[in-house]
Amino acid sequence: MKSDKPEKAEVPLNQMMLDGEPAPYGTADSREMLDAVLEYVRQNGRVCPMPSKWNELWKMLPARRRVGSGSEPPLPLILAAWYTPALLKMKRLEEHIRYADAHGALVKVDRYLRGLPENEWAHLSDFGRTASGANASDGADELEG
Q: What are the residue boundaries of the structural domains of the chain, listed by start? A: 33-64+72-134
Residue 47 to residue 50: CA distance in whole angstroms: 9
Which pLDDT belongs to residue 131? Answer: 56
Each residue's pLDDT tens digit, 69-125: 989 999 999 999 999 999 999 999 999 999 999 999 999 999 999 999 999 999 999
Confidence of residue 30 (pLDDT cuts 50, 70, 90): confident
DSSP letter string, 100-134 = HHHTT-HHHHHHHHHHS-GGGEEEHHHHTB-TTSS
pLDDT at 128: 77
End-to-end CA distance of the chain: 56
Say what the pLDDT of residue 140 is.
38
Whole-number average pLDDT of the chain:
81
Would you state the pLDDT for residue 129? 55
Cβ neighbourhood burial of 29 (10 Å; 0-12, 13-18, 19+): middle
Give just the sign of the alpha carbon dihedral 10, 14, 19, 25.
positive
Q: What is the mean pLDDT of residues 58-72?
A: 94
